[in-house]
Structure 1
Amino acid sequence: MKNSQILGIAVGATLAVGLSVSAFATDGYQLIGIGQYAMGMAGAVVAAPDDPLSAAMSNPAGLALMTPQAAFSAEIFNPVRKTNLGFGEIGSHTNVYGIPAIGWVAPAFAKNWVFGGGVYGTSGLGVNYLQNLAPNPQMPMGGYAQAYSSISFMQMAPSVAWKVNDRLAVGASLNIAAEQGSFQQTLTQYVPTSFGPLPATGGLNLSTPSWAYGVGATLGVLYKVNDMVTLGATYKSPIMFTPMTWQAGQQNQVNPATGNGVMGAPGQYSGHLNYPQQIALGMAIRPVRRWLISVEGQWINWHNTMNNFNIYGPWTAYQGGSAVGGASSIALPMHWSNQWVANFGTQYDVNNWLQVRAGYTWGSNPISNNTIASNLIFPAIVQNAITFGATQKLGMGWKLTEAYMHEFSNTNTGPAGSSPFGGPMPASATMYENSYGLQVGYDF
């Protein structure tokens, strides 16, 4: 067997670039909500923003209804991920992440105009898998697989809002974002030599972190129908990023069984990962003054950003083990579907200093069982979450807000024969999440 074939494995068919993120407490890889008020309401805040964090990210029109204030949020996010590469289930070695956020709102240049915004960790995730592989027809002497991904998104959202009249407010945010990504999915197999079995490694290895920068916009509107009902709507444009670039060694995408695929020479590799456009509509109802009920529906256009991830570089195509010409890029097929999300949140003012809240969110799964083998290092598959939260008004303008989120376990299992490394079991991914957050606010 040729060395190029020994080193090769069809990673392109099994790599789900763990490049995203949001996610944290996630719809896909996007946060359910920014800040602990939004988290406690399960993200149902487009018609009921209550602080600079929830407004600037979910509906900037809400800033126009707020007094000058600032808020700082710190959240511990605990996603638990497991996968089966075909040889038994294993867990990821990284399960704890921190999510910071800070926001503010202040009077602007004219009456009924305000300026606000903030800096947020908006999404991100990663996995770190290592699995020993038993001998099989593709690897007679066995080997091991490494799957690693890390992605983080930070966003700054300077915003302006205008209270048009007692019923209508409008707002806009400029979304300035930075993303950092690195990933690896390699196979090491032991091959016979005159010196005994020696390891030979192939696959994709773009594990040096790379940064990219992007820009987009959010437009929002709030309309107060009457003292009981408020309607809200937002449109978020795609965030278009510069390419991430990596200086990397040889990349091997040649299938050892057929000799077909591509091989990359040492050099520079690059790829774009944009953030999806989305639409949200919401309604907030106050049956009585102390009780708030908020519902929201979202559409997230994952298909346009997470269908294929194209990696550009010095690729050479192979057929039957022989080079047949150059290739400018390869497409890693993730094939995400667009996502529909429903959010429900409620808040009750117990007294003048204590508010309690709870929520539920459901999101359609953007990854199907048929495509889970292509998304094992980014298993954004959770669908159902419950949240709880509270706010205490401490006096002299200070307030403290806490929230807890639990996203229930979900498993995607591929069809028979979907193991990326020829194992006897089908590929699968399992994920559940918890988050714990604390937020401090101050009204000026």
Structure 2
Amino acid sequence: MRILNMKKKKLGTLVSAACLGVLAVPSVFASSSGVDLNLSAKAAGGGRAGAAYTRPTGPSEALFGNPATLTQIKGTQASISATFIFYEIEHEVSYAGLSTISDSGHKDLVVPDMAITSEVMPGLVLGFGVETDAGLAADYRTAPINILANAEAALGFTEPFNVPLMVELISFNANIGAGYQITDTLSIGAAVTIGFGLAQLGTVGDTEGHVALDTVAGIVLGTPAATFQDFGGTSSSVHNFGFGASLGLTWQPNDMITVGAAYKSSLAYDFEDILYRDLSRLGGETGLQDLKVELPYEVIVGVAFQDLLPNLLLEADLVYKGWGSAESFQDVWDDQYLLLLGAEYEMGNWTLRAGYSYSENMMKSKVNNTLSDLDGLGDLPLGDSPVPGFSTDLVGIVQSTLLPVVWEHNVSVGVGYDFGSFQTNMFVSYAFEEETSYTANTIGAMVGEVVPGLGNPTYTGTVEAQIFVGIGVSAKF
């Protein structure tokens, strides 16, 4: 009885610490797989670059990956971890031989994770966990985006055309899952997801220089004077719940090979009153707007080879992510493939891990003219506006400033040590710098009718090298 009480106390301590960690996280950001982190930020699985969908490294990887792999987590196990994330986003506007650079204020963050699994009867494993599933953050309030790269002087204006854009999205997932071993070679599993999302989108602080836009629009479109005016903050902080599910199976034809497949449903949030617009001077509506944000469905297949060489595990997973049909993201991103390769070598109490992942570039070459059903940002029109091309350019600017998720190549290494009753895991991953650009043809054409020969402005978002450093503790009972 005393041993049982000690186990319960240890388990309760792990759970309490994990929940406090999840509640304390300030914000998150996008990874190379979009706003989703997949398994790349887990203390053990991160060492294999997230290649843990077929032979998981612990309870969290099984619960939030392929739930059929829960049957591989024997007894009762619990894990808690935190991953520190270091990254920077730089944005450059080039126009008329000039350029301006803005740095996003979001940089260093932390992502917590916890899970508990228990084999309640032979072949049946239940699990519960909480993770930071997805996130996105960019903030230009202290370094606003200069829409015309300080070329306003060519139009006779001294005030720069600045827009302090920002976005923040965070999705916490609570999973309840079960895995059942049907035969010696076949397992199935399912998990239900309850998501809690927090979001902001729009501008923070006052815009500047709308007189330049107003003058150009008056000459080109014939709009009355003062149609476009500077405006203040347009974003509000909102939250919502969402629901999803995942299904999986694994097949092990022999002791060396495991094959897995899983499907993860989309998870949608309906954020009410998130963004303000005032289109009254264009004959439109005024007030707050709703925004539907949908995290995409995923299809995962994988294969793992165990003991091709003594104590060596190799795994390859392929993940297909349906960004092209996910609400809001479908306006700026295409569907995406991820290739995850991981290796794990046991050496006594030590476990050494390494991995590589490739993420297909998902930036749309032709963006839509709005996000979901939004029709404006302040007095800037979106959607079916008087000049649809102008609205498309605004979304293109948003793509390169707030959504430049273009990391493609990622390498990782990790190490674990087994103390007997508990284990520790650490990893470091490095995603190489990438960039994406958008050319605003309509804005260039409009200004060109006033001052010919300036060309078209180009907006380039550069995501600098992204580093994950994760550490975690797990226990077996």
SS of 1:36's partner is coil
Provide the aligned length of Structure 1 versus Structure 2. 382
1:189 aligns with 2:196: no
**Per-residue Cα deviation, 1:339-378 (whole angstroms, up to 9, x for no partner):** 011110001112x210011111011111045545340212
Partner of 1:327: none
1:248-275 Cα distance to aligned partner (Å, 9 max, x none):
65x2469xxxx8x675423x42111111
Partner deviation per Cα, 1:83-107 (whole Å, 9 max, x = no partner)? 1234422211110111011001013
Q: Which residue of 1 aligns with 2:321?
A: 300
Matched, 1:401 2:425: yes
1:441 alignment partner in structure 2: 474
Name the structure 1 match of 2:416.
391
Report the alpha carbon displacement of residue 37 of structure 1 after superposing the two structures with TM: 1.5
Partner of 1:323: none
What is residue 13 of structure 1 aligned with on the other side?
none
Aligned to 1:322: none
Q: Which of 142, 146, 150 is residue 159 of structure 2 equivalent to?
A: 142
Deviation track 1:403-442 (CA, whole Å, cap 9, x = no partner) reads: 1111111111223748799796411111131111101000
Task: Find the aligned partners of 1:262 and 1:106 in 2 and give their Cα distance.
Answer: 61
CA contact (8 A) 1:369 1:415 kept: no
Say whether 1:65 aligns with 2:100.
no
Corresponding residue number in structure 2 for 1:240: 268
Give me the whole-angstrom Cα distance separating, in 2, the residues matched to 1:22 and 1:64: 31
State whether structure 2 residue 245 is matched by structure 1 residue 217.
yes
Give the conservation status (yes or no) of the 8 Å contact 2:32–2:359: no
Displacement of 1:49 in angstroms is: 1.0
Matches within 5 A, 1:274-293: 274-286=294-306, 287-293=308-314
Alignment of 1:309-320 (within 5 A): none
Residue 201 of structure 1 aligns with an amino acid whose one-letter code is: D
Q: Secondary structure at the match of 1:336?
A: coil
2-side partners of 1:147 and 1:280: how far apart?
35
Q: Deviations along 1:144-201, whole A, 9 cap, x unmatched? A: 2211111101000000111112211111110110111101247321759xxxxxx952
- With CA pairs under 8 Å and 6+ residues apart, which has the higher RCO, 1 or 2? 1
Query: Secondary structure at 1:30's aligned position in 2?
Result: coil
Q: 1:201 aligns with which of 208, 230, 249?
A: 230
Equivalent residue, structure 1, for 2:10? none
Normalised TM-score (structure 2)? 0.74
Distance 1:353 1:262, change over 3 A: farther
Paired residues of 2:50 and 2:342 also in contact (CA < 8 A): yes
Select which of 335, 338, 363 maps to 1:338.
335
For the structure 1 residues 171 and 136, does the alpha-carbon distance in structure 2 shift closer, same or farther, using more than 3 Å as the test? farther
With 26-35 and 296-305 compared, the bigger mean Cα shift is at 26-35
Residue 239 of structure 1 deviates from its aligned partner by 1.3
Would the aligned equivalents of 2:200 and 2:274 in 1 still touch at CA under 8 Å?
A: no
Sequence identity percentage: 19
What amino acid is the match of 1:289? P
Q: CA deviation at 1:50?
A: 2.3
Moved more, 183-192 or 147-156: 183-192
Please tell me whether the aligned partners of residues 32 and 42 of structure 1 are also in contact (alpha carbons under 8 angstroms): no
Give SS of 2:107's match. coil
Q: Secondary structure at the match of 1:157?
A: strand
SS at 1:440's partner residue? strand
Residue 62 of structure 2: SS of its match in structure 1?
A: helix
Alpha carbons of structure 1 residues 414 and 58: separation in structure 2 relative to 1, 3 Å = same
CA shift in 2, pair 1:430/1:280, >3 Å: same
Gaps of 5+ in 2: 1-26, 213-227, 368-395, 448-453
More strand by share: 1
Question: Relative to structure 1, is the Cα distance of residues 374 and 92 closer, same or farther in structure 2, using a 3 angstrom cutoff?
Answer: closer
Deviation at 1:27, TM superposition (A): 0.4
Shift of 1:112: 1.7
Distance in 2 (CA, whole Å) between partners of 1:163 and 1:79 is 41
* Distance verdict in 2 for CA 1:253–1:77, change over 3 Å: farther
Q: Do 1:94 and 1:127's aligned partners in 2 also have CA atoms closer than 8 Å?
A: yes
Corresponding residue for 2:33? Answer: 27
* Distance (Å, rounded) in 1 between the aligned partners of 2:156 and 2:363: 29
Residue in 1 aligned with 2:462? Answer: 430
1:311-390 matched pairs, under 5 angstroms: 334-350=331-347, 352-368=348-364, 370-371=366-367, 372-375=396-399, 376-390=401-415
2:103: which partner in 1?
Answer: 91
Greater helix fraction, Structure 1 or Structure 2: 2
SS of the equivalent of 2:112 reads: strand
Task: Report the alpha carbon displacement of residue 246 of structure 1 after superposing the two structures with TM.
Answer: 2.2
Instruction: Kindly indicate whether the alpha-carbon contact (under 8 Å) linking 1:45 and 1:58 is maintained by their aligned counterparts in 2.
Output: yes
1:441–1:274 distance in 2 versus 1, CA, 3 Å: same
User: Which ranges of structure 1 fall in alignment gaps of 5 or more residues?
Assistant: 1-20, 193-198, 310-332
Q: Which residue is equivalent to 1:229? A: 257
Local SS of the residue matching 1:188:
coil
| Structure 2 CA distance for aligned equivalents of residues 125 and 107 of structure 1 | 36
1:417–1:348 distance in 2 versus 1, CA, 3 Å: same
The equivalent residue for 1:82 is 90
